[in-house]
Amino acid sequence: MDAMRRGEEWALPPRDRGPVKALARDYVDSRRLIISEYILFAVFALILLAFTLGAAKNSSGILYVEVGIVALIAIESLYHATRVRTLAKRRFPDQSTSGLTWYIAKRSIRLRSSRIPPPRVARGDAI
């Protein structure tokens, strides 16, 4: 478990192994602003707002905000997955890129400090 938290390749689960997944992790970790990373705070604010204003009165408005949050995550993940897939096909032409969109979406919605394996690159580094 400690080796996995350090990011050692042999200790990673199969879903995190390989050069394409490492490229995807580095790409997501190098982005300066990923909106999906801060969505968790918006969800907490939405829950607080629902309790303070009364969920019964504003249920349709809250539903629209929730759908908007999910759509924002999906659009951002598709954008980043397209960029990573292009990079991966250029750098690793014989490697599979299946499951990359979901992998990027799951990695990007986690706070940077809680990602496993931990980021290897700093924000703003060139990939």
95-107 residues labelled b (16+ CB within 10 A) or e (exposed): eebeebbebbbeb
- Sorted by where each begins, the domain ranges of the chain are 2-114
Task: Give me the pLDDT at residue 33, please.
Answer: 80
CB neighbours (10 Å) of residue 43? Answer: 12
Q: What pLDDT, on a 0 to 100 scale, did the predictor assign at position 85? A: 94
Block mean pLDDT (10 aa), the chain, length 127: 83 88 92 84 84 71 85 91 94 90 90 87 87
Distance CA 86, CA 88 (A): 5
Contact 127, 87 (CB under 8 A): yes
Give the separation between CA 42 and CA 48, rounded to whole angstroms: 10
pTM summary value: 0.81
